[in-house]
Protein backbone atom coordinates (compact mmCIF):
# COMPACT_ATOMS: atom_id res chain seq x y z
CA UNK A 1 0.00 0.00 0.00
CA UNK A 2 1.20 3.50 -0.73
CA UNK A 3 1.69 5.82 2.21
CA UNK A 4 -1.01 8.45 1.94
CA UNK A 5 -2.62 10.98 4.23
CA UNK A 6 -6.10 9.66 4.98
CA UNK A 7 -8.84 11.47 6.81
CA UNK A 8 -10.55 9.16 9.26
CA UNK A 9 -14.20 8.79 8.19
CA UNK A 10 -15.51 9.24 11.72
CA UNK A 11 -13.82 12.65 11.96
CA UNK A 12 -15.48 14.21 8.95
CA UNK A 13 -19.00 14.64 10.26
CA UNK A 14 -22.44 13.48 9.27
CA UNK A 15 -22.89 16.23 6.68
CA UNK A 16 -20.20 14.75 4.40
CA UNK A 17 -22.02 11.44 3.84
CA UNK A 18 -22.29 10.57 0.16
CA UNK A 19 -25.62 9.48 -1.31
CA UNK A 20 -25.32 6.01 -2.92
CA UNK A 21 -27.50 3.64 -4.85
CA UNK A 22 -27.51 -0.15 -5.22
CA UNK A 23 -28.22 -1.83 -8.53
CA UNK A 24 -29.04 -5.51 -8.24
CA UNK A 25 -30.45 -4.64 -4.82
CA UNK A 26 -32.99 -7.48 -4.75
CA UNK A 27 -30.34 -10.19 -5.23
CA UNK A 28 -28.68 -11.95 -2.31
CA UNK A 29 -25.51 -9.84 -2.44
CA UNK A 30 -27.53 -6.66 -3.00
CA UNK A 31 -29.67 -7.41 0.03
CA UNK A 32 -26.60 -7.94 2.19
CA UNK A 33 -25.08 -4.74 0.82
CA UNK A 34 -28.16 -2.76 1.86
CA UNK A 35 -27.91 -4.13 5.40
CA UNK A 36 -24.21 -3.21 5.61
CA UNK A 37 -25.01 0.40 4.67
CA UNK A 38 -27.29 0.93 7.67
CA UNK A 39 -25.85 3.70 9.88
CA UNK A 40 -22.74 3.91 7.73
CA UNK A 41 -20.67 7.01 8.61
CA UNK A 42 -19.64 7.83 5.01
CA UNK A 43 -22.44 6.55 2.75
CA UNK A 44 -26.20 6.99 2.87
CA UNK A 45 -28.42 4.58 0.95
CA UNK A 46 -30.65 6.70 -1.28
CA UNK A 47 -31.94 4.32 -3.93
CA UNK A 48 -32.35 0.58 -4.53
CA UNK A 49 -32.84 -0.83 -8.03
CA UNK A 50 -33.91 -4.31 -9.12
CA UNK A 51 -35.24 -5.63 -12.39
CA UNK A 52 -37.69 -3.53 -14.43
CA UNK A 53 -40.54 -5.82 -13.41
CA UNK A 54 -39.95 -4.94 -9.75
CA UNK A 55 -39.99 -1.15 -10.13
CA UNK A 56 -42.06 0.63 -7.47
CA UNK A 57 -42.58 -2.56 -5.47
CA UNK A 58 -41.92 -2.59 -1.73
CA UNK A 59 -38.29 -3.50 -1.01
CA UNK A 60 -39.44 -5.41 2.07
CA UNK A 61 -41.96 -7.47 0.09
CA UNK A 62 -39.45 -8.51 -2.55
CA UNK A 63 -36.72 -9.20 0.03
CA UNK A 64 -38.96 -11.41 2.17
CA UNK A 65 -40.41 -13.18 -0.86
CA UNK A 66 -36.91 -14.21 -1.97
CA UNK A 67 -35.80 -15.31 1.48
CA UNK A 68 -38.92 -17.47 1.92
CA UNK A 69 -38.36 -19.02 -1.52
CA UNK A 70 -34.85 -20.10 -0.51
CA UNK A 71 -36.10 -21.72 2.69
CA UNK A 72 -38.86 -23.58 0.83
CA UNK A 73 -36.36 -24.75 -1.78
CA UNK A 74 -33.50 -25.97 0.44
CA UNK A 75 -35.44 -26.98 3.54
CA UNK A 76 -35.38 -26.40 7.26
CA UNK A 77 -31.61 -25.92 7.57
CA UNK A 78 -31.86 -22.65 5.61
CA UNK A 79 -32.31 -19.52 7.73
CA UNK A 80 -33.99 -16.43 6.28
CA UNK A 81 -31.95 -13.23 6.47
CA UNK A 82 -34.22 -10.62 8.12
CA UNK A 83 -35.26 -7.40 6.42
CA UNK A 84 -33.87 -4.31 8.24
CA UNK A 85 -36.66 -2.29 9.83
CA UNK A 86 -34.80 0.94 8.99
CA UNK A 87 -35.43 0.30 5.28
CA UNK A 88 -39.16 -0.25 5.70
CA UNK A 89 -40.19 2.77 3.61
CA UNK A 90 -37.94 2.00 0.64
CA UNK A 91 -39.43 1.11 -2.73
CA UNK A 92 -37.57 -0.17 -5.76
CA UNK A 93 -36.61 2.49 -8.29
CA UNK A 94 -36.05 2.11 -12.01
CA UNK A 95 -32.64 2.11 -13.67
CA UNK A 96 -33.53 5.36 -15.45
CA UNK A 97 -34.33 6.98 -12.11
CA UNK A 98 -30.89 5.94 -10.84
CA UNK A 99 -29.19 7.43 -13.91
CA UNK A 100 -30.84 10.79 -13.23
CA UNK A 101 -30.45 10.70 -9.45
CA UNK A 102 -28.10 12.51 -7.08
CA UNK A 103 -26.44 9.18 -6.24
CA UNK A 104 -22.92 9.84 -7.53
CA UNK A 105 -21.75 6.43 -6.26
CA UNK A 106 -23.41 3.14 -7.24
CA UNK A 107 -22.78 -0.29 -5.74
CA UNK A 108 -23.43 -3.10 -8.21
CA UNK A 109 -24.13 -6.79 -7.71
CA UNK A 110 -25.45 -7.40 -11.21
CA UNK A 111 -25.06 -10.75 -12.96
CA UNK A 112 -22.62 -10.77 -15.86
CA UNK A 113 -25.46 -10.78 -18.41
CA UNK A 114 -26.67 -7.39 -17.13
CA UNK A 115 -23.21 -5.83 -16.86
CA UNK A 116 -23.89 -3.41 -19.71
CA UNK A 117 -25.91 -1.38 -17.20
CA UNK A 118 -22.66 -0.62 -15.37
CA UNK A 119 -21.26 0.79 -18.61
CA UNK A 120 -24.30 3.08 -18.90
CA UNK A 121 -23.83 4.27 -15.32
CA UNK A 122 -20.22 5.16 -16.03
CA UNK A 123 -21.17 7.00 -19.21
CA UNK A 124 -23.52 9.07 -17.05
CA UNK A 125 -20.70 10.03 -14.69
CA UNK A 126 -21.38 7.59 -11.86
CA UNK A 127 -18.58 6.03 -9.82
CA UNK A 128 -19.28 2.28 -9.76
CA UNK A 129 -18.04 -0.30 -7.25
CA UNK A 130 -18.97 -3.76 -8.40
CA UNK A 131 -19.01 -7.42 -7.48
CA UNK A 132 -20.13 -8.43 -10.99
CA UNK A 133 -17.84 -10.51 -13.26
CA UNK A 134 -18.61 -8.03 -16.06
CA UNK A 135 -15.32 -6.48 -17.28
CA UNK A 136 -13.52 -7.86 -14.24
CA UNK A 137 -10.39 -8.56 -16.27
CA UNK A 138 -10.41 -5.49 -18.49
CA UNK A 139 -7.06 -3.66 -18.28
CA UNK A 140 -8.96 -0.37 -17.81
CA UNK A 141 -10.75 -1.65 -14.71
CA UNK A 142 -9.27 -1.77 -11.19
CA UNK A 143 -9.52 -5.26 -9.65
CA UNK A 144 -8.76 -4.74 -5.97
CA UNK A 145 -8.43 -6.42 -2.59
CA UNK A 146 -7.69 -3.31 -0.49
CA UNK A 147 -5.12 -4.92 1.83
CA UNK A 148 -3.22 -6.36 -1.14
CA UNK A 149 -3.32 -3.85 -4.01
CA UNK A 150 -5.37 -0.93 -2.75
CA UNK A 151 -2.92 1.46 -4.41
CA UNK A 152 -4.42 0.41 -7.77
CA UNK A 153 -7.80 2.05 -7.09
CA UNK A 154 -6.60 5.03 -9.12
CA UNK A 155 -8.98 7.27 -11.00
CA UNK A 156 -11.00 4.64 -12.86
CA UNK A 157 -14.80 4.94 -12.77
CA UNK A 158 -15.25 1.16 -12.43
CA UNK A 159 -13.70 -0.70 -9.50
CA UNK A 160 -14.18 -4.43 -9.03
CA UNK A 161 -13.50 -6.89 -6.25
CA UNK A 162 -12.63 -10.50 -7.14
CA UNK A 163 -14.82 -13.54 -6.59
CA UNK A 164 -15.50 -14.76 -3.07
CA UNK A 165 -12.81 -17.47 -3.00
CA UNK A 166 -10.08 -15.13 -4.24
CA UNK A 167 -11.14 -12.43 -1.77
CA UNK A 168 -10.01 -14.71 1.05
CA UNK A 169 -7.21 -16.50 -0.77
CA UNK A 170 -5.33 -13.31 -1.61
CA UNK A 171 -5.34 -12.20 2.04
CA UNK A 172 -3.43 -15.41 2.76
CA UNK A 173 -1.14 -15.44 -0.27
CA UNK A 174 -0.02 -11.79 -0.13
CA UNK A 175 1.93 -12.01 3.16
CA UNK A 176 3.20 -15.50 2.32
CA UNK A 177 4.48 -14.34 -1.06
CA UNK A 178 6.14 -11.26 0.44
CA UNK A 179 7.90 -13.34 3.13
CA UNK A 180 8.77 -16.61 1.40
CA UNK A 181 8.02 -16.23 -2.30
CA UNK A 182 5.50 -18.62 -3.83
CA UNK A 183 6.39 -21.14 -6.51
CA UNK A 184 2.97 -22.78 -6.91
CA UNK A 185 -0.40 -23.08 -5.20
CA UNK A 186 -3.06 -25.79 -5.07
CA UNK A 187 -6.54 -24.69 -3.95
CA UNK A 188 -9.58 -26.88 -3.22
CA UNK A 189 -12.85 -25.19 -2.30
CA UNK A 190 -15.98 -26.35 -0.49
CA UNK A 191 -18.33 -23.47 -1.21
CA UNK A 192 -21.66 -22.71 0.44
CA UNK A 193 -24.95 -22.61 -1.42
CA UNK A 194 -25.42 -18.87 -1.00
CA UNK A 195 -22.63 -18.44 -3.55
CA UNK A 196 -25.26 -19.34 -6.13
CA UNK A 197 -27.51 -16.54 -4.89
CA UNK A 198 -31.24 -16.75 -5.52
CA UNK A 199 -30.72 -18.87 -8.66
CA UNK A 200 -30.69 -22.03 -6.49
CA UNK A 201 -29.44 -25.53 -7.21
CA UNK A 202 -31.74 -28.53 -7.62
CA UNK A 203 -31.90 -29.89 -4.05
CA UNK A 204 -30.90 -33.42 -5.08
CA UNK A 205 -27.54 -32.08 -6.29
CA UNK A 206 -26.54 -30.25 -3.13
CA UNK A 207 -28.66 -31.06 -0.06
CA UNK A 208 -26.70 -33.56 2.07
CA UNK A 209 -24.28 -33.80 -0.84
CA UNK A 210 -21.12 -32.44 -2.51
CA UNK A 211 -21.43 -31.03 -6.02
CA UNK A 212 -18.21 -30.63 -8.08
CA UNK A 213 -18.24 -27.46 -10.18
CA UNK A 214 -15.67 -28.54 -12.76
CA UNK A 215 -17.13 -28.26 -16.28
CA UNK A 216 -20.26 -26.57 -14.87
CA UNK A 217 -21.44 -23.15 -16.06
CA UNK A 218 -19.77 -21.53 -13.04
CA UNK A 219 -16.36 -20.05 -13.78
CA UNK A 220 -14.87 -19.95 -10.28
CA UNK A 221 -11.89 -22.16 -11.10
CA UNK A 222 -10.87 -19.93 -13.99
CA UNK A 223 -11.61 -16.75 -12.04
CA UNK A 224 -9.34 -17.75 -9.15
CA UNK A 225 -6.44 -18.62 -11.43
CA UNK A 226 -6.67 -15.30 -13.27
CA UNK A 227 -7.36 -13.13 -10.21
CA UNK A 228 -4.40 -14.36 -8.16
CA UNK A 229 -1.88 -13.28 -10.79
CA UNK A 230 -3.67 -10.03 -11.60
CA UNK A 231 -3.91 -8.85 -7.99
CA UNK A 232 -0.51 -10.07 -6.80
CA UNK A 233 1.05 -8.53 -9.90
CA UNK A 234 2.92 -11.73 -10.72
CA UNK A 235 1.88 -14.82 -12.65
CA UNK A 236 1.88 -17.92 -10.43
CA UNK A 237 0.99 -21.55 -11.21
CA UNK A 238 -2.36 -22.07 -9.47
CA UNK A 239 -4.34 -25.32 -9.54
CA UNK A 240 -7.98 -24.89 -8.49
CA UNK A 241 -10.75 -27.42 -7.84
CA UNK A 242 -14.16 -26.09 -6.75
CA UNK A 243 -17.08 -27.85 -5.08
CA UNK A 244 -20.41 -26.88 -3.52
CA UNK A 245 -21.39 -28.24 -0.12
CA UNK A 246 -24.58 -28.18 1.92
CA UNK A 247 -23.80 -25.09 4.00
CA UNK A 248 -25.70 -21.80 3.84
CA UNK A 249 -22.94 -19.21 4.23
CA UNK A 250 -19.15 -19.31 4.34
CA UNK A 251 -16.70 -21.05 1.99
CA UNK A 252 -14.19 -23.56 3.36
CA UNK A 253 -10.96 -23.62 1.34
CA UNK A 254 -7.85 -25.84 1.47
CA UNK A 255 -4.56 -24.25 0.36
CA UNK A 256 -1.25 -26.01 -0.36
CA UNK A 257 1.84 -24.00 -1.23
CA UNK A 258 5.36 -24.57 -2.48
CA UNK A 259 7.62 -21.70 -1.47
CA UNK A 260 10.90 -20.29 -2.77
CA UNK A 261 12.32 -19.75 0.72
CA UNK A 262 12.08 -22.30 3.56
CA UNK A 263 9.23 -21.94 6.03
CA UNK A 264 10.50 -22.13 9.59
CA UNK A 265 7.46 -23.41 11.48
CA UNK A 266 3.67 -23.39 11.64
CA UNK A 267 3.75 -20.85 14.47
CA UNK A 268 5.95 -18.58 12.34
CA UNK A 269 3.28 -18.63 9.60
CA UNK A 270 0.48 -18.07 12.09
CA UNK A 271 2.26 -15.01 13.50
CA UNK A 272 2.88 -13.68 9.98
CA UNK A 273 -0.79 -14.01 9.02
CA UNK A 274 -2.17 -12.76 12.34
CA UNK A 275 -0.10 -9.57 12.06
CA UNK A 276 -0.98 -8.83 8.44
CA UNK A 277 -2.88 -5.55 8.69
CA UNK A 278 -1.97 -3.01 5.96
CA UNK A 279 -5.10 -0.91 6.54
CA UNK A 280 -4.87 -0.83 10.32
CA UNK A 281 -4.16 2.89 10.66
CA UNK A 282 -6.72 4.19 8.16
CA UNK A 283 -9.86 4.05 10.28
CA UNK A 284 -12.06 2.62 7.52
CA UNK A 285 -15.51 1.70 8.78
CA UNK A 286 -15.66 -1.80 7.24
CA UNK A 287 -12.03 -2.74 7.79
CA UNK A 288 -11.73 -5.50 10.42
CA UNK A 289 -9.41 -5.11 13.39
CA UNK A 290 -7.36 -7.87 11.79
CA UNK A 291 -8.21 -9.29 8.34
CA UNK A 292 -6.96 -12.77 9.35
CA UNK A 293 -8.04 -14.56 12.54
CA UNK A 294 -6.05 -17.65 13.54
CA UNK A 295 -8.10 -20.49 15.07
CA UNK A 296 -6.28 -23.25 16.93
CA UNK A 297 -9.12 -25.55 17.92
CA UNK A 298 -9.12 -28.99 16.32
CA UNK A 299 -11.74 -29.22 13.58
CA UNK A 300 -11.74 -25.47 12.88
CA UNK A 301 -12.29 -23.33 10.92
CA UNK A 302 -15.83 -24.33 9.92
CA UNK A 303 -18.38 -22.27 7.96
CA UNK A 304 -21.07 -22.11 10.66
CA UNK A 305 -18.64 -21.09 13.40
CA UNK A 306 -16.06 -19.03 11.49
CA UNK A 307 -17.76 -17.09 8.69
CA UNK A 308 -18.64 -14.16 10.95
CA UNK A 309 -15.40 -12.91 12.52
CA UNK A 310 -15.43 -9.09 12.65
CA UNK A 311 -18.85 -9.01 11.03
CA UNK A 312 -17.76 -11.38 8.26
CA UNK A 313 -14.94 -9.11 7.05
CA UNK A 314 -12.12 -11.24 8.51
CA UNK A 315 -11.20 -14.70 7.29
CA UNK A 316 -10.46 -17.55 9.72
CA UNK A 317 -7.29 -19.60 9.15
CA UNK A 318 -6.43 -22.91 10.80
CA UNK A 319 -4.74 -26.29 10.30
CA UNK A 320 -1.43 -24.63 9.46
CA UNK A 321 1.21 -27.29 8.85
CA UNK A 322 4.76 -27.46 7.48
CA UNK A 323 4.90 -31.25 7.82
CA UNK A 324 3.65 -32.24 4.38
CA UNK A 325 5.68 -34.62 2.18
CA UNK A 326 4.81 -32.74 -1.03
CA UNK A 327 4.17 -29.10 -0.10
CA UNK A 328 6.11 -26.67 2.06
CA UNK A 329 2.96 -25.35 3.71
CA UNK A 330 -0.71 -26.20 3.96
CA UNK A 331 -3.61 -24.49 5.70
CA UNK A 332 -7.37 -24.01 5.51
CA UNK A 333 -9.48 -20.88 5.72
CA UNK A 334 -13.14 -19.87 5.86
CA UNK A 335 -14.27 -16.72 4.07
CA UNK A 336 -17.73 -15.19 4.35
CA UNK A 337 -18.74 -15.24 0.70
CA UNK A 338 -21.53 -12.67 1.07
CA UNK A 339 -19.60 -10.14 3.18
CA UNK A 340 -15.82 -10.17 2.67
CA UNK A 341 -16.24 -12.07 -0.60
CA UNK A 342 -18.93 -9.82 -2.08
CA UNK A 343 -20.91 -6.95 -0.49
CA UNK A 344 -18.35 -6.06 2.18
CA UNK A 345 -15.51 -6.21 -0.34
CA UNK A 346 -17.35 -3.71 -2.54
CA UNK A 347 -17.94 -1.43 0.43
CA UNK A 348 -14.34 -1.58 1.66
CA UNK A 349 -13.07 -0.66 -1.81
CA UNK A 350 -15.43 2.32 -1.82
CA UNK A 351 -14.32 3.43 1.65
CA UNK A 352 -10.64 3.31 0.70
CA UNK A 353 -11.34 5.16 -2.56
CA UNK A 354 -13.41 7.80 -0.76
CA UNK A 355 -10.74 8.27 1.92
CA UNK A 356 -8.08 8.71 -0.75
CA UNK A 357 -10.23 11.24 -2.60
CA UNK A 358 -10.73 13.16 0.65
CA UNK A 359 -6.98 13.09 1.36
CA UNK A 360 -6.11 14.29 -2.14
CA UNK A 361 -8.67 17.10 -1.86
CA UNK A 362 -7.23 18.16 1.50
CA UNK A 363 -3.71 18.09 0.07
CA UNK A 364 -4.73 20.31 -2.85
CA UNK A 365 -6.38 22.76 -0.48
CA UNK A 366 -3.26 22.87 1.68
CA UNK A 367 -1.06 23.42 -1.37
CA UNK A 368 -3.35 26.20 -2.65
CA UNK A 369 -3.30 27.91 0.74
CA UNK A 370 0.47 27.67 0.88
CA UNK A 371 0.79 29.13 -2.62
CA UNK A 372 -1.29 32.22 -1.84
CA UNK A 373 0.80 35.35 -1.17
Q: How does strand 238-245 pair with strand 210-212?
A: antiparallel
All residues at 6 or more sequence positions from 89 whose CB lies less than 8 Å from its CB, including other chains: none
Question: Which listed residue (164, 246, 309, 310) is catalytic?
Answer: 164
Cβ pair 287, 313 in contact under 8 A:
yes
The three state secondary structure string of the chain is CCCCCCCCHHHCCHHHCEEEEEECCCCHHHHHHHHHCCCCCCEEEEEEECCHHHCCCEHHHHHHHHHHHHHHHHCCCCCCCCCCHHHCCCEEECHHHHHCCCCCEEEECCCHHHCHHHHHHHHCCCEEEECCCCCCCCCCCEECCHHHHHHHCCCCCEEECCCHHHHHHHHHHHHHHHHHCEEEEEEEEEECHHHHHHHCCCHHHHCCCEEECCCCCCCHHHHHHHHHHHHHCCCCCEEEEEEEECCCCCEEEEEEEEECCCCCCHHHHHHHHHCCCCCCCCCCCCCCCCCEEECCCCCCCCHHHHCCHHHHCCEEEEEEECCCCCCCEEEEEEECCCHHHHHHHHHHHHHHHHHHHHHHHHHHHHHHHHHCC
Known catalytic residue at 164: yes
Distance CA 187, CA 37 (A): 32
Kindly compute the dihedral angle of the four CA atoms of residues 318, 336, 348, 271, in this order, to the nearest 10 degrees. 0
Question: Which listed residue (134, 177, 251, 309) is catalytic?
Answer: 251
Known catalytic residue at 285: no
Which residues are tagged catalytic?
A: 164, 251
Amino acid sequence: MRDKQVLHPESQGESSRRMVGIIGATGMVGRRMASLLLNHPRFELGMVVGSDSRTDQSYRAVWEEKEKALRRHYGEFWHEYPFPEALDDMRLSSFEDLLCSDCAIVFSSLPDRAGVLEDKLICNGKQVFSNSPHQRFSPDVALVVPEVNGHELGQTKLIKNPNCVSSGLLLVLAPLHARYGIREVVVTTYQSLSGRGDAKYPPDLVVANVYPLHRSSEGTEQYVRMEVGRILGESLPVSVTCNRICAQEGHFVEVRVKTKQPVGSASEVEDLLANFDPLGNLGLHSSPKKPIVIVQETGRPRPMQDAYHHGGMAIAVGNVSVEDEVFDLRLTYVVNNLVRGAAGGVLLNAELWEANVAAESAEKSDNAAYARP
